[in-house]
Amino acid sequence: MICLSQSVSEPPLFEHLLLENPWPLVIVLICGAAVLRVIARRHEKRAFNLAALVTLLLAGGIIALAHLVHTPRERVTAATHELLDATADNDPATIERLLDPRIVLADEGGNVRISVGELRPRLDRALEKFPLASQRAKDLAVEVRGKDVASAYLALRTGFTDNAYPPAHTQWRLEWRCGDDGVWRLVEVRWLRWMGRTPPWHGLP
């Protein structure tokens, strides 16, 4: 199995702390404000009260900023989950919106196995032949590799409505591109593992 956490680089620390996971910084600021407030009460220093207020306002501003601004990594993560849900629910409109018209299916090395124009019809046939009961991301790691380019490494558990088929455990690399309209779309899917082994390309629908 491929370790997904080792496949991606860490996001920029400043961006991560301010926008993606601000809570450690917010907690530090709140604790700092509490300490300043205690000092102000003990020493009757108004300056410390003012500093405590400013610190609390800064913490609130960081929370608001994180809520309003979504980083590319957050947007690609959300788009990946949305695509998984749409596939499990067989929602053609959402799938169509998230797939780039040039999308291809490739192997781990990037060699195209199913080219443009073939993937969507074959996906529809596969979903018709093997209806999905559930689809869950066991692990997801996203790496933004440029202004409009990102990769999502995904470990997936897929359940089927027909109990004759056991749940499938697969791993994928999804290549996303952001268009001029600001929408992230999937342009390439790399099938990395099927049940811990090389994918059975010869058995595709």
Instruction: Give, for 151, the enclosing helix (H) or strand (E).
Output: strand 149-160
Alpha helices per DSSP H over 71-194 = 72-88, 92-98, 119-129
Question: What is the model's pLDDT at position 193?
Answer: 93
Dihedral sign of CA atoms 94, 96, 98, 104 in order: positive
Question: What is the model's pLDDT at position 120?
Answer: 76
- Positions of the chain with pLDDT lower than 50, given as ranges: 1
Question: What is the model's pLDDT at position 78?
Answer: 94
Instruction: Say if strands 149-160 and 184-194 run parallel, antiparallel, or are unpaired.
Output: unpaired
- Nearest CA to 58 out of 21, 30, 23 is that of 30
Q: Left (φ > 0), alpha (ψ -120 to 50) or beta: where does 110 sit? A: left
Question: What is the model's pLDDT at position 174?
Answer: 96
Model pTM score: 0.75
Answer for the pair 205, 122: CB distance below 8 angstroms, yes or no. yes
Q: What residue has token string 């490494």?
A: 153
Dihedral sign of CA atoms 80, 97, 101, 146 in order: negative
Question: What is the model's pLDDT at position 49?
Answer: 87
Question: What is the model's pLDDT at position 187?
Answer: 94
Question: What is the model's pLDDT at position 21?
Answer: 83
Q: How confident is the model over 159-174, as pLDDT tens digits?
A: 888 887 889 999 999 9
